[in-house]
Amino acid sequence: MRRLARWWRALYASPVLLTAFAVVLGLVVGMFVIIFTTTPVLDAWRGFFNSWGSPGHAFKATLDYVGAAYRSMFNGAVIDPASLWNSLRTGQGWTQTLTPLSETLTYATPLTIASIGVGITFQTGLFNIGANGQAIVGGIIGVAVGSSLHLPTVVLIPLTLLAGVAGGVVTGAIPGLLKAFTGAHEVIVTLMFNYVANLLLIFALLSTPLQQPGQGNDISRILRPGALLSPLFGATSGLRVNWGLFIAAAVVVLAWWFLERSSLGFEFRVSGANPHAARVSGINPRKVTIVAFLISGGLAGLAGITQVAGTTHYIDGGFLVGSAGIGFTAITVSLLGRNRPIGIMWGALLFAALGVGGRSMQATTGIPLDLATIIQYSIVLFIATPVLVEEIFRLRARGVGGLQLASQGWNT
Amino acid sequence: MTTTLSHTAVAAPRRRLQRDQVIGLLMVALGLFTAWAFGLGSAGRSHSQFTFNPVNTSGTVPWHLGALTLPTRVSCLLAGALIVAGGVEILWRRPRRALMARFGGGAVLFFLAILLWASRTHGPSQVSFVNLTSVLVGGVAPAVVLIYGSLSGVLCERAGVVNIAIEGQFLAGAFLGSLIDSVTHNFFFATLGGVVVGAGIGAILAFFALRYQSDQIIAGVVLASLVISLGSYLNLQVLTPYPQYNAGSPAPNLTIPLLAKIPVLGPVLFDENGYFYLAVVLVLLISFGLFRTRWGLRVRAVGEHPKAAASVGIDVIRTRYVNVILGGVVAGVGGVALFAWQGQFQPGITSGYGYIALAGLIFGRWRPSGVVVAALLFGMSVYLANNLQTYQVPVSTSILLMFPYVVTIFVVSGLIGRVRAPAADGIPYQRD
């Protein structure tokens, strides 16, 4: 009994519970958004005082619509209980049953990689808001290489991935160099590069080397079969989860080792925690800034090309577009995972599930996919202010602290 | 760790190019590029024409100015030479003041050279003239929006809170402005909507930044992205099924009777919509308020050294709340101005203007007057990016559209160097 109490107290004070409550609050925000934008629900609430039965009707309408939305989100992202029961009973239709999980893993693969890139800059006290642009350029360069060279698979896959990394590295290097040598604030530069990369994508897709022959639209050539990350369970399985998953896992392990065990990673973290102390102890801030952006950009580029090689196999004008683009979700995932590789992995799985579930929700209930994004951003807003969540739920997550970065304002 | 004290202590002298040298070198490079690309890039016999009569103003024009025909190559070479001369003068004499004015002059010459080159005869262009009045009118329109955004930044950051959510406030203002204008056909109510929603987002940002001391850049980016997804969501969920709620129109121009008839300047300065005049008033008001009133002194004290401000009895948190909400109001109205310029809401309407406005704020060194110069520079590049296509220049549209963003990157990296924001900008304040 006493052990149970101690266990409960430990859970009570852990960041995991805090995160869980933030997720709950995010879902509540999503609920209100649904209520205020769905006509039948609004009508039901408008007639709240019409008759004795009206309040019940209003609550029921709300529950119906919100419940349907969240249920289809869960069914589309994790597992559909009905389908699972059917598969267990008949031994048939496992593809359909496992598709949601496979989709979530597929979506989480590039997201994990990009988020770890963003997390590394956050840990260094830098902001890389431009992961989306870096991933786009990585995708462009990667597709250019992977769709044009005739090489055996053993060579072509690494070459394609490296090309994607190179694209991201180049795009990430510019804000890093500018920050280190001219003091241009990386927030503005990386944000601007997102727009530049979007336009570059359109330009590249409409020019000869990349555009699909015989097409007038903004669609790229398809990657050569040798450049694809093939599905884990074979092309005939119908499940899209692919070997990129192992790339993501390797990135998680390497990033953990780099940040926690290597001396350069230590320099990164010291610079992030206390730039003044870092400088005094002889850490070169310029080097740290540049290298952090190189790594971060490279990972974003890898994420972009992994997405193409594993899932889409070509890019079009809608590649990673908008505020739901992978680079923006990566910022939120990184914050959710407290910028640590392992945490980021879980965060990426959660947000991938939200994204995939959102798509299924859009298909079944007609509620736009953007609701998933709204929920994601709300969760992160709550995560960024643990005090608020603690106040709401009377938690006592001591020692968790807010997400304070050393780099504050424009002067650093 | 980023207190004022440690800052001055760390700022050790380094051997690097001074800011004025960087600007000088940039101007020399810009001048050489102008002379090479536009001067030598056009045939010796080609001509360009500037016209001055406005095409579409609400007032009638009592005057008629003739067209000005210039030989393209010579003019562009001359413009390039002048820019180079300006750069050399900066490098040579190292003037202390009016650096930005010199650079602004160079930028104007550069833009003129682009226009001359694009409209040259025997070039690819079908249009063989540039209407300078239209160019100015067109460049001022985005500049007005940017001025609102940067002023919002001035209000927030002078009090020590970084407002990155301007992009979100723009979007929310544009959305609500469009909605209200579609229903009421009244821009006064639309503006009120912008005020309310801007203040709301400002209040949320202030709440997170001040009460819970979240990282302001993170809170701002997340808040802006949240509002942008909400805008996209509402667009699909509300505006697409009910298109009558997205049927607004651009704001009508308010013509000032006599002044609007001044050649060239009249249509640019005195035949604009209400948001232009409001922006002018705000610039003057905020400029006066910040640097000439007791309120402004308090705000600046809170932004520079909140502990000192608190020690003389200024309520730091309250000042910051008020200013962030005021900043939100200004940015919200800016969003309505954005809609009033475009005439219709769409999810991507802001296209980064909120972030460009932030760059303008830094470029303008946290001063309303500097902000105006920056906004005009960015506004002109937005206009050129959108309109050079009419002259069929041999550059892809997507590359042209990069122009304002690339200018922004150049500006924050080359022209500014290490900036000095208000000392407590972005640093949470804790009562002892």
Q: Mark yes or no for CB contact A188/B355 under 8 Å.
A: yes
Of A188, A384, A412, the CB nearest to B215: A384
C-alpha angle B378/B379/B385, rounded to 5°?
Answer: 90
pLDDT of B286-335, one tens digit each?
Answer: 999 999 999 999 999 999 999 999 999 999 999 999 999 999 999 999 99
CA–CA gap between residue B206 and residue A214 (Å, rounded): 53
Domain boundaries, chain B: 134-379
Q: Do B396 and A373 touch (CB under 8 A)?
A: no
The topology (CATH level 3) of A103-348 is ABC transporter involved in vitamin B12 uptake, BtuC (1.10.3470)
What mean pLDDT do residues A237-256 have?
Answer: 92
Q: What percent of chain A has pLDDT over 90?
A: 43
Residue A74's pLDDT band, with cuts at 50, 70 and 90, is very high
Nearest Cα residue to B166 out of B338, B389, B391: B338
Can you read off the two tokens belonging to residue B54?
A: 């406005």
pLDDT for the residue numbered B394:
78
Contact list in B for residue A319 (CB cut-off 8 A) is none
- Asked whether this complex has an ipTM greater than 0.95, the answer is no
- Contacting residues of A for B237, CB less than 8 Å apart: 37-38, 367-368
The mean pLDDT of A256-266, rounded to a whole number, is 93
Interface of A with B in 36-75 (CB under 8 A): 37-38
Q: Find, among B161, B125, B196, the residue nearest to B317 by Cα.
A: B161
Q: Please, what is the average pLDDT of chain B?
A: 86
The most distant pair of C-alpha atoms in chain B lies apart, rounded to whole Å, by: 74
Mean of pLDDT values over B159-164: 92
Residue B60 has pLDDT above 60, yes or no: no
pLDDT given for residue B2 in this prediction: 40
Lowest-confidence pick of A305-314, B108-117, B162-171, B385-394: B385-394
pLDDT of residue A177: 92
Distance CA A372, CA A368 (A): 8
Distance separating alpha carbons of residues A212 and A313, to the nearest angstrom: 12
What is the per-residue pLDDT for B175?
Answer: 95
**For residues B142 and B406, is the Cβ–Cβ distance under 8 A?**
no
CA distance A263 to chain B (A): 23
pLDDT at B268: 85
Report the alpha-carbon distance of residue B183 to residue B246 in Å, rounded: 9
Position B13 confidence tier, pLDDT thresholds 50, 70, 90: very low
Residue-wise pLDDT for A196-227, tens only, equals: 999 999 999 988 888 888 877 888 889 988 88
Residue B130 banded pLDDT, cuts 50, 70, 90: confident
Is B344 buried (19+), middle (13-18) or exposed (0-12) by CB count in 10 A?
Answer: middle
CA distance A85 to A91: 9
Q: Are B400 and B388 in contact (CB under 8 A)?
A: yes
**What would the mean pLDDT of B257-264 be, rounded to a whole number?**
80
- CA distances to A77, A132, A202, A270, B55 from A199, rounded to whole Å, are 32, 13, 5, 37, 31
Over residues A233-247, mean pLDDT? 87
Q: Is B21 on the interface with A (CB under 8 A)?
A: no
Q: Name the residue among B226, B228, B427 with its Cβ closest to that of A408.
A: B427
Per-residue model confidence as pLDDT tens digits over B361-403: 988 889 998 899 889 988 998 898 888 877 777 788 888 889 8
Encoded tokens for A108: 């989480």
- pTM for the model stands at 0.88
| Confidence tier at B7 by pLDDT (50, 70, 90) | very low
**B381 CB contacts (<8 Å, ≥6 apart)?**
B403, B404, B407
**Could B355 and A380 be called an inter-chain contact, meaning their C-beta atoms sit closer than 8 Å?**
no
pLDDT at A2 over 80: no
What is the pLDDT, as a whole number, of residue B20? 77
Taking a contact as any Cβ pair under 8 Å apart, which residues of chain A between 342 and 361 contact chain B? none
Q: Average of pLDDT values for A123-140?
A: 92
Of B218, B358, B401, the CB nearest to A188: B358
Contacts of B402 in chain A (CB under 8 A): 195-196, 199-200
A312-339 in b/e form (b: 16+ CB < 10 A) is bbbbbeebbebbbbbbbbbbbbbbbbbb
Interface of B with A in 356-415 (CB under 8 A): 356, 358-359, 362, 396, 398-399, 401-402, 405-406, 408-409, 412-414
pLDDT for residue A131 is more than 80: yes
What confidence score (pLDDT) does residue B267 get? 82
The CATH classification number of B134-379 equals 1.10.3470
Instruction: Please check the confidence at residue A407 and state whether its pLDDT lies above 70.
Output: no
Average pLDDT over residues B274-283: 95
Determine the residue among B3, B218, B227 to mutate to test chain A binding: the one whose Cβ has the most chain A Cβ atoms within 10 Å: B218
Amino acid found at A326: I
How far is A384 from chain B, CA to nearest CA, in Å?
Answer: 6
Confidence at residue B17, expressed as pLDDT on a 0 to 100 scale = 65
Window 211-240 of B: residues touching A by CB (8 A cutoff) are 212-219, 221-223, 225-226, 228-230, 232-234, 236-238
Furthest CA-CA distance within chain A: 75
CA distance B161 to B322: 11
* DSSP codes, A89-107: HHS--HHHHHHHHHHHHHH
Residues within 8 A of A (CB atoms), B 143-182 only: 162, 164
d(CA A14, nearest CA chain B) in Å: 19
Which pLDDT band, with edges at 50, 70 and 90, does A173 fall under?
very high
Binning chain B into helix, strand and coil, the percentages to the nearest 5 are 70, 5, 30
